[in-house]
Amino acid sequence: MTDITTQTQAQVALVTGAAQGLGFHIASRLHAAGYRVAVSDINVEAAALAARELDPSGETVMAVALNVASRADFEQALAAVTERFGSLQVLVNNAAVTRATPVMAIGLDEFNEVVNINLGGTFAGCQVMGSYMAEQGYGRIINMASLAGQNGGTSTGAHYAASKGGILTLTKVFAKELASKGVTVNAVAPGPIDSPMVKALVPAERLPGLLAAIPVGELGDANFIGDMVVQLASPQARFTTGTTWDVNGGLFMR
């Protein structure tokens, strides 16, 4: 059996929103699996720090400035990555903003901002990088959705939940569009993960109640999410496209 690391050591992955949190865990697991990684973030200084943490030599990791709300930023990021590493095989659309504003208090401007970043950013990434991958005849796109997009959310706002639900549909649309070009498009939908974002949304006094509501009784592991992304990014994942992999402790069952 061929070692997956051997197969992927020449491949390049770009992760959006990778300077911290779940995005950094995903970038870390891809790097450990042998990928060269572009750590992209709207905060390029934070991205540079994260990139140095993954590879102090800078040989296998680069930092890229990327505001996912801008299609032009995706185009510039693609140019920077291909200039540095020669190609791009994997895109992980992870960057998102999370707001917990009560539904009846959400203004239209706030709603549009969240949807434009979360859903619009995923659309732009799939379109720009997907077009490039289709021309190359190979690619893997993994979109980070959420349990909130499946059950309407609990601790997150309606705009966040709606944007993540839209990502599930976009994943299917782009999967159909790109399947014949050798490009797969899949989504991962995490439930509550042991992460700074979840702890920021759920006060310490509410955490026991959250854990009690999760059938398995604990929060998810960010590194395991990263390992799922690695599986979907692998060359062997060619027969998996248009899917959503649920990681929610039993909170949502199909």
In order, the DSSP letters of 60-93 are SEEEEE--TT-HHHHHHHHHHHHHHHS---EEEE
Outline where 86-215 has alpha helix (H): 108-115, 121-136, 148-151, 158-178, 196-201, 207-213
Asked whether the beta carbons of 93 and 143 are under 8 A apart, the reply is yes
Which two structure tokens, joined as six digits, stand for 84? 């540095």
CA angle 83, 16, 75 (to 5 degrees): 45
Asked whether the beta carbons of 66 and 74 are under 8 A apart, the reply is yes
- Give how far Cα 207 sits from Cα of 98, 191, 211, Å: 18, 14, 6
Is 132 tagged catalytic?
no
Which two structure tokens, joined as six digits, stand for 79? 């140019």
Q: Active-site residue numbers?
A: 160
